[in-house]
Structure 1
Amino acid sequence: MSFHSDQEKQLITKFRSRVFDILKPGEDRSDQFLLRWIRAQDGNIEKAELMIRKSFDWRREYGFDDILYQAIDPVLMHLCPYSMLGLDTLGHPGKWHATQSSDYFSKLIVMRVVQNADELLSEVAVVSFSIGRWDLARIVNEGREVEFVTHYTQLFEKAMERIRDSNKGRKPWEFQNTQFTAIADWAGYSYQQLVNFKAVQLMLKLASSFDSHYPETLYKAFYINCPAIFPRLFAMLKPVMRDKTVARIKVYGTNRQEWEGKIKRLVHSNQLPPEYGGTAGPVSLSAAQGQTTTLTTTGAYPQ
């Protein structure tokens, strides 16, 4: 997120006073946090207030204020394992730690990347999902919708926590990290998934929830390996996201020459896995909270 203008500074002051009753001491009251909601509503602080109050109500209703301290669902951790990025001695995001699930579900990679933002170097998290292989139909058939949403809300909360940690030690006038780049790999997304009404509705709910509760945290998204049927799904996704978010999504087909070079402009090759044209080594799986282990999977769904 770029530095705020003088006009935005005035809006932040007004906005903070309007919503001060719900803001916890610390990050909630920071300029960068409040600016996200203001920019999401194009400077309209009345709409920004409504948005943030609804989001805070949502967090309280589902207990997401304490989600970082809640136990991880072992079944979903097996199906959707992840390892959040660490911090180096200066408080910057460490080199990438990645997770790779069985073919059944997904893969998440969170890594360190240096990008140019307002002519300043800044480490930004990169999150990669093998979203095309998500079996959301099985999730809804087994009644795990709530657990699935909670699991990924916890994931994004941890990503936000690591981004906050990356700002420790920086002066107030220095660039503050608030965003991440996403790589969504749609390889494997099938017509059967597209025509499953409940699975599509869950996908739409996730997209809408992220845009409503984590505004202005997406720097750029690469949708790669999109199949021929993807435009039909994307046509359903776009209305549930803000225009600003949609504008940050770049859609590519299966020709890697179209997207590989663009990804490498943001992420160094030695931090990318081979399937994205990188040279990174083997991927580790996060089998439990706070632990990183090597996990051999057979693709079987744990009972």
Structure 2
Amino acid sequence: MTNNRSINSNLIWITFTIIILACINCCKGVTFEEEVTLSESELHALQEFKQKVIPKLKVDYMKEDIYLVKWLRARKFDVDKAVEFLNRHLSWRDSTNFDKLDDSDFQDFIHDYPYEIVGQDKEGKPILHCYLGDWDFRKAALAGKMDKMILYASKMFNDAWLKVRDLQQSGQNVTRYVIVIDVGKINIRQHINPASMPFYIGVVLSYERNFPKQGSNIWVVNTPRIFEVALTLARSVMDEETKATFKVYGNNREEWTSVLREYIEPDQLTRTFGGTMPSKFGF
């Protein structure tokens, strides 16, 4: 009996790995550790989930196991809850016309609300560099563009996931991205006011509801005390996994630089984050 269970477990691992490798055309030997390690019951849940949702999916990468299993993990492999969760996401994509959006739809944001996806951490995960302190929330709110700014941030998360997928396609063992956020220029007038508060709630909710299990570590640096109000709001809608990976550091550059360098080589970070890489925004 023990030997049979061992054989079954090995077959489950091999079967799921083959499915993933076929989906992303990876080279032999590439594994995805936790993301592709499923028990027998979890594998059955994945198959049931695929049967229920794949006919609804319009984007090819959304049909891949490595993507679909994230929705199941977010709902502890309860298939019905995962289907409901993904259906809400699909409704959001339709209502925002998300799949047809590109940079040309955000020409009024790209320069004034900078982010870039450059470099990789020591495990190969791509790095989303977000210069949040340069984002003028008040300006967007007064222009009636708060919803668009939240959608722009959602595009930022999606761009990071597409980078993960590009790396998978090239055979790299990557299933998530990491985020570094600089808030050194945060001030009361532009960022800590009633008009700006919806952004913090909206962007975290979008991250949790529309991009589950895609991000890994999140580091916020150069954090002034006045930003605690916004951080409290953001944490209030984070799930437990996000809270556990959400690390906030103050203005002690030596402290947070040493932390980042445990995970990321200096030549993979822009200068804003203590690295040596020049930013396309001139930071």
Give, in angstroms, the shift of residue 241 of structure 1: 1.9
Match of residue 151 from structure 1: 152
Partner of 1:12: 46
Q: Determine whether 1:33 maps to 2:67.
A: yes
Contact 2:138–2:191 (CA<8 Å) still a contact in 1? no
Q: Which residue of 1 aligns with 2:104?
A: 71
SS at match of 1:261: helix
Greater strand content: 1
Match of 1:220 in 2: 217
Aligned-pair distance for 1:114?
4.3
Looking at structure 1, the residues matched to 79 and 45 of structure 2 have their Cα atoms a distance apart, in angstroms, of 7
Corresponding residue for 2:92? 58
Per the alignment, do residues 20 and 203 of structure 1 end up closer, same or farther by CA in structure 2, a change over 3 Å counting?
Answer: same
Opposite residue 231 of structure 1, the aligned amino acid is E
In structure 1, C-alpha distance between the alignment counterparts of 2:231 and 2:153, rounded to whole Å: 20
- Write the letter of the residue equivalent to 2:120: V
Match of 1:283 among 265, 275, 279: 279
C-alpha separation in 2, matches of 1:191 and 1:134: 13
Query: SS of 2:116's equivalent?
Result: strand
Kindly tell me the number of residue pairs found equivalent between the two proteins: 249
Normalization by structure 1: what TM-score?
0.74
Residue pair 1:207, 1:240 contacting (<8 A) in 2 also: yes
Question: Which residue of structure 2 aligns with residue 235 of structure 1?
Answer: 232
8 A Cα contact 1:113 1:266, kept in partner: no
Within 1, Cα distance between the matches of 2:230 and 2:236? 11
Matched, 1:141 2:142: yes
Q: Per the alignment, in what secondary structure is the counterpart of residue 79 of structure 1? A: coil
Say whether the 8 Å CA contact 1:129–1:184 is kept in structure 2. Answer: yes
Q: For residue 167 of structure 2, what is the aligned residue in structure 1?
A: 166
- Residue 50 of structure 1 and its aligned partner are, at CA, apart by 1.1
Q: What is the CA distance between 1:264 and its match in structure 2?
A: 1.3
Q: Describe the superposition over 1:100-156 as per-residue Cα deviations: whole angstroms up to 9, x where unpaired.
A: xxxxxxx4232232434xxxxxx2210122212321011110112243233333333
The sequence identity of aligned pairs, in percent, is 21
SS of alignment partner, residue 47 of structure 1: helix
Name the stretch that deviates more: 37-46 or 188-197: 188-197
Q: Which amino acid aligns with 1:283?
A: S
Q: Residues of 1 paired with 2:51 and 2:107: CA distance?
A: 42
**2:108 maps to 1:111:** no
Alignment check: 8 A CA contact 2:134 2:185 kept = yes
Any conservation in 1 of the 2:129–2:180 contact (CA below 8 Å)? Answer: yes
- Does residue 266 (structure 1) correspond to residue 263 (structure 2)? The answer is yes
Identify unmatched segments of 5+ residues in structure 2.
1-31
Match of 1:200 in 2: 197
Taking CA–CA contacts closer than 8 Å with sequence separation of 6 or more, which of the two structures ends up with the larger relative contact order? 1
Q: Which runs of 5+ in 1 are unaligned?
A: 81-106, 117-122, 286-293, 297-303
- The secondary structure found in structure 2 opposite 1:78 is coil
Equivalent position SS for 1:229? helix
What is the DSSP-based 3-state SS (H/G/I as helix, E as strand, rest coil) of the residue aligned with 1:32? helix
- Post-superposition shift, 1:194? 5.6
Aligned residue type for 2:262:
R
Q: Is the 8 A contact 1:108 1:129 kept in 2?
A: yes
- By how many angstroms is 1:78 displaced? 2.6
Say whether the 8 Å CA contact 2:49–2:79 is kept in structure 1.
yes
Asked if 1 retains the 8 angstrom alpha-carbon contact of 2:158 and 2:211, the reply is: no
* 1:40 and 1:215 in contact (8 A); partners too: yes
Q: SS state of the match for residue 250, structure 1?
A: strand
Relative to its length, the structure with more helix (as a share) is: 2
Decide whether the 8 Å contact of 2:136 with 2:191 is kept in 1. no
State the TM-score, normalized to the length of structure 2: 0.79
- Computing the radius of gyration from Cα coordinates, the structure with the larger value is 2
